Amino acid sequence: MTEQEVQHIEDDYLVPSDYVNKGEADANGIVPFTHENGKHYFAVVNTEGGVIFRSEGYSSTSARDNGAASFLKNASNEARYAIEEVRGFFFVILKAGNGQEIARSLPLHTQAEASALLPTSAPTDVADEDEEPIEDLVIDETPAAVGSAHDDFDWARGKRGQILYAQEDRNSLMSQYDNSMKSLNIGEIVKGRVSAITGNDVVLDIGYKSDGLLAVSDFRDIPELKIGDYVDVYVESQEDAKGQLQLSRRKAKLLRAWEAIVDSHQNGTVIRGQVISKTKGGLIVDAGGLETFLPGSQIDIKPVVDYDQYVGKIMEFKVVKINETIKNAVVSHKALIESDLAEQRENILGGLEKGQVLEGTVKNITDFGAFLDLGGVDGLLYITDVSWGRINHPSEVLHLNQKINVVVLDFDDNKKRISLGLKQLLPHPWEVLDADITEGSIVKGKIVNIEDYGAFLEIKAGVEGLIHVSEVTWANTPIAAKEFFKLGEEREARVVTIDRADRKMSLSIKQLTGDPWNIVEEKYAVGTRHQGDVKNITQYGVFVELEPGVGGMIHISDLSWTKRYVHPSEFTKVGQRIEVIILEIDSNTRKLSLGHKQVENDPWDNFESIFTIGSLHEATVLRKDDRGAIVALPHGLEAFAPIKHIRKEDGTTAEVGESMKVKVLEFNRDDKRILVSHSRFNDDIRREAEDAARQAKRAEDAESRKDVENVQKSVEKDTLGDLSALAALKEQLDNQ
């Protein structure tokens, strides 16, 4: 055998060096320990601490302790030992009566070493499970001779040292033993008394022939467990393969918990549980060891957003739904609160009266009011009953969880509705309004509401006056209240009328100053020049304020002598300062007619001689539509060209920004209107070219005729000469 094989066998059976949770050796030399693989072992050591035997691994400490007890029980019985040889090593093995191995020795090199570990004698007080019971012996009661060598021998003992009883005595003793023991049924829950607590185990006495053994970890919920305490346990088996009683505290807890859940569901009893985790839609509650579901809607009577705040809390619940098949339940904390609140609600409603003052807690705030908890019943405080003054939202006065006193305005026994009031606890502001505020008084306040017809000025909470649009300015200029006033701004006004009985007040801003129209005709005579601020622009003109309360309109046609504006905003902007001429004054209607172009002389007197009909000018297209185009002429004038008159020689029409030559077709000084055409200019050019071509053709034709005539004359002279010569020749011939 190689050294590696020897080392492997020794390492396999020696006590591991990496064990954990090692215990101390007891009086019998038993040492419990736990290996890092999770198995539980025990070893038998000698007085020097050397290991003699070691057990196989057990799955639990209780099983290990049972194995150690079995070792002590069988260690003195030689019949329980066996020697095995494994690959050259010898092992001494101790077995139980059923043949199961309890422990084995360390590997030994010789059989003699193994034999030395066997007990020298084999007395035992336990009969083999597989041997037949020993029958009673018939004992001779005749006394032996005095002085016999066997006088001190107990002839009532068997050969193995048993004391033999008569069948009658045996039956009596067995009956007494059975009567002292409880009868156990598998699956029942019994009370057990803690009789001992070891390092890892708890011994329970349940009045049975053997004690139960449970792990200490099964009692984590009872940190102060002590000897003498009673606990519930579940009987799993009266005797397992090792003859041990099998108990379970976990199953007992679960069954007791399920019984409590069923009772709560049937009878409405309250159970306690701990919230252990959050899950989708709610929480998981440990109710006595059983996991139950607490929906988010059943946590509280008010909506819950943060579920994490409940994790770890111990709370009371009612069971609202169970499933017997899968042993599952749905619990509710809200139902418990509602049952308490229902009783409180009945008590409160029973003693409710109109005008009664109650203390409430603000539990919810909405746009239309706030809900108050009156101690089990809810009441509604409308926004109009929060304050005598105007508020946009209840949160301006109230906040969540605020405790306030309110008065009961009305309630409905059938619908359980209660209307509350807060402002009614204070006197109406009109009733305590200063007597000094009379007609003509000047008051100061804040704009709290704006309507088309005016604005409401709050002098103090609950006391308001109306500033009508007609009382804003002395001018007859239309006022848009929603543009003139701003919510929350501070204003001063004069009291025009006040009615304390009807709680009404009319105010005026314009009456804070004198009426400027009394001196308008003197200060703003017709034809005088002034400057003002543009206050408003409409499609047909510009409103200019010369001073507060005095202003007028410049019509769009009076903005410029030369330009036509589609909208006055092309010429000026609101807030811009502008120079005007007073054109007309109407004191009755408080209107001024203003002009801006009149600040300068009318240039059209000179334009008539410049832009004569048929004259040609350079023009640039400013705007264009389906009808035609507006073109810019010299001296800042604008003219109109119909669409057919801006067509170019290539058939296309001129575009915006394009320059071209135009011909004046019409000049109207009264209407300040000029009509021009680019097409007519092109026609004139084309016509002039055609006329020039025709004139050139006529001149060319005349020259050609003249040349022909000259040729003809020349030819005629030559012909006559020739005839004279021939005649002379003929005469000469005739003479011969």
Residue 217 is assigned to a structural domain of this protein: yes
Helix (H, G, I), strand (E, B) or coil at 239: coil
Residue 70: per-residue pLDDT: 86
Q: Could you tell me where the beta strands, DSSP code E, fall in 633-701?
A: 638-642, 659-668, 673-677
**Residue bearing the bigger pLDDT, 609 or 216:** 216
Are the CB atoms for 650 and 658 separated by under 8 Å?
A: no
Query: Does residue 221 register a pLDDT over 70?
Result: yes
Residue 477 is assigned to a structural domain of this protein: yes
SS3 letters across 313-346: CEEEEEEEEEECCCCEEEEECHHHHHHHHHHHHH
Mean pLDDT of 299-304: 84
Same domain? For 493 and 530 the reply is no
Same domain? For 32 and 110 the reply is yes
Single-letter residue type at 524: Y
Q: Is the dihedral of CA 659, 662, 666, 668 positive or negative?
A: positive
Residue 714 is assigned to a structural domain of this protein: yes
Single-letter residue type at 682: N
Same domain? For 420 and 437 the reply is no
Query: Does residue 192 register a pLDDT over 90?
Result: no
Same domain? For 494 and 472 the reply is yes
Residue 555 is assigned to a structural domain of this protein: yes
Picking from 482, 497, 512, the residue at the C-terminal end of a domain is: 512
Residue count of the chain, please give it: 736
Mean pLDDT of 281-295: 89
Count of structural domains within the chain: 6
Two structure tokens written together for 229: 């305490």
What confidence tier does 17 reach under pLDDT thresholds 50, 70, 90? very low
Mean pLDDT of 382-406: 88
Mean pLDDT of 33-39: 78
Residue 183 is assigned to a structural domain of this protein: no
Residue 494: per-residue pLDDT: 92
Residue 199: per-residue pLDDT: 78
Q: What is the pLDDT of residues 231-243, one digit of tens each?
A: 888 888 877 777 7
Q: Residue 528's domain spans which residues?
A: 516-599
Mean pLDDT of 61-66: 85
Same domain? For 407 and 473 the reply is no
Residue 381 is assigned to a structural domain of this protein: yes
Query: Does residue 11 register a pLDDT over 70?
Result: no
Query: Does residue 392 register a pLDDT over 60?
Result: yes
Q: What is the pLDDT of residues 460-506, one digit of tens each?
A: 888 899 999 988 887 766 788 888 899 889 999 999 999 988 889 99
- The structure's pTM equals 0.36
**Residue bearing the bigger pLDDT, 79 or 125:** 79
Q: Considering just the CA atoms, what is the radius of gyration of the chain in Å?
A: 63
Are the CB atoms for 215 and 201 separated by under 8 Å?
A: yes
DSSP-assigned beta bridge partners for residue 95: 101
- Tell me how many degrees the CA angle 507-509-514 measures, rounded to the nearest 5: 120
Mean pLDDT of 1-28: 55
Residue 2: per-residue pLDDT: 47
Mean pLDDT of 428-435: 85
Same domain? For 720 and 625 the reply is yes
Nearest 5°: phi and psi at 637?
A: -80, 155
The residue among 229, 255, 234 whose CA lies nearest residue 245 is 234
Counting beta carbons within 10 angstroms of the beta carbon of residue 406, is it exposed (0 to 12), middle (13 to 18) or buried (19 or more)?
buried
- Rounded to the nearest 10°, the torsion over CA 237, 241, 244, 247 is -30
Picking from 116, 131, 157, the residue at the C-terminal end of a domain is: 116
By percentage, how much of the chain surpasses pLDDT 90?
10
Q: What is the pLDDT of residues 259-285, one digit of tens each?
A: 888 888 888 888 889 999 988 889 999
**Residue bearing the bigger pLDDT, 176 or 552:** 552
Mean pLDDT of 654-667: 84
Residue 16: per-residue pLDDT: 46
CATH code: domain of residue 720: 2.40.50.140
Picking from 572, 599, 626, the residue at the C-terminal end of a domain is: 599
The β-bridge relationship of strands 51-55 and 369-373 is unpaired
Residue 666: per-residue pLDDT: 83
Residue 176: per-residue pLDDT: 67
Mean pLDDT of the chain: 79
